[in-house]
Chain A
Amino acid sequence: MVEYRIDRRSGVATYVQIVQQTKQALRLGLLEPGDKLPTAREVVEATAINPNTVLKAYRELEREGLVEARRGLGTFVRRGLNTAPADSPLRTELEAWAVRAREAGLERDDVDALFTSVLDTHFKGDES
């Protein structure tokens, strides 16, 4: 089970915060396939937000194929969001690249900025 933390001052729409926090829980393995998400009632009792907002977030997660609503039972996780495993070729390439970047004299912030800019170019318009 996850617990949502709503930041009303963040400027991020409330339903987007729920979507993002669910995805983060999937990435970290706090939620696994088969797990049940809290009911709308449980979420609003803890956060005092509008129940339709919770349902909107769950519909969005369902549209992305991450969860499924089972009538009368609740909403369940369908698949996890795995980052590439430790021994994947993509990770190996990135490791090698990071070593080269460091040898070339880049600092952590430089690498961070470079990486973010490349991400922005290639994942433009995608939601996080």
Chain B
Amino acid sequence: MTETAIEAAALGKRFGRRRKRALDGCAFQLPAGRICAVVGPNGAGKSTLLSLAAGLLHPSDGTITVLGQAPAAAREQVAYVAQDKPLHPQLTVADTLRFGRELNQRRWDDRVAERIVAEGDLDPDAKIRTLSGGQRTRVALALALGKRPELLLLDEPMADLDPLARHQLMATLMADAAERGTTVVMSSHVVAELEGACDHLLLLGAGRVRLAGPLDDLLAAHRLVTGRADAGLDPHTVVESRTTGRQLTALVRPEGPLDDTWQSTVPTLEELVLAHLRAPEAPALRLDSVPEAAV
């Protein structure tokens, strides 16, 4: 197994006649075995990035390698679940899984796929077109995990699932990762559902990487501080700050020790992400460039 799951350098993608940039100069490195959250506002380039990693799109600029190879060459070890979960509407659930087995004969595991479907109480003879959005998601995930991929790319996987199904599927993903060391990359708007599950973060904004690195390191590099509005925050990097009356609340990247007059806490994932979304001009921070020692 390669040590780097995905590596991007100066990666760019433009669409359409006006060559609108969906991604621009993206560079990051994702070590294998991580559970990576891809977060960002609408139009940030999350889906484009996942499609590039899946080998369904070609970069306009720069490079992306997946499991040490070109994305198209790595396709057998990669599973990708697109946001709209494309499945054949006329096939039954059982047919769809059979289809998965025949397309992935060397890797396929019936037990994995069937268990995910069974957890959702799905009738194997039901046609895909009769299923709800959440049920279709379940079939798409069964297809993806049945392939036993080394890298699993999920675009908004939980969007139309109820809370119980979210928990079950997140638990299934985590169990698969625990057992096989699968690298999981998932985009989501709902940051709270990623907390606890993800250990790596990629925050995109306007086609660029804004935060990239191990989640613990990124959180540790920031402080949520409150204090008097007339106190200075030099020399720390201020990501976002708000003043209410005499009080100032800010998310900062401390450069050296913080003054005692500030009350400071380490932010949660949600606080970190929201502050960066509210402050699109804040400088980017990458903490993923130094290869870590094997755990």
Contact = CB atoms under 8 A, between A and B. Distances in A.
A44 B196 contact: no
Contact of A47 (B33, B171, B295): B171
Interface in A1-53: 6, 8, 11, 14, 39-41, 44-53
B196 A6 contact: yes
Contacts of B295: 52, 55
B178 A51 contact: yes
Contacts, number: 52
B195 interface: yes
- Range of interface residues on A (Cβ < 8 Å): 10 to 19
Interface string B252-295: 00000000000001001000000000000000000000000001
Q: Interface centre among B170, B177, B178, by most A CB within 10 Å?
A: B178
Nearest to A59: B295
Nearest to A54: B178
Interface of B: 33, 35, 167, 170-172, 174-175, 177-179, 192, 195-199, 265, 268, 295
Q: Which 3 A-B pairs have the closest CB atoms?
A: A51-B178, A44-B174, A48-B170
Given A45-B172, A52-B33, 6 more contacts: A8-B192, A8-B195, A14-B196, A46-B171, A48-B171, A50-B177
20 contacts: A6-B196, A41-B175, A41-B179, A44-B174, A44-B175, A45-B172, A45-B174, A47-B196, A48-B170, A49-B196, A50-B35, A50-B196, A50-B197, A50-B199, A51-B174, A51-B175, A51-B177, A52-B33, A52-B295, A53-B199
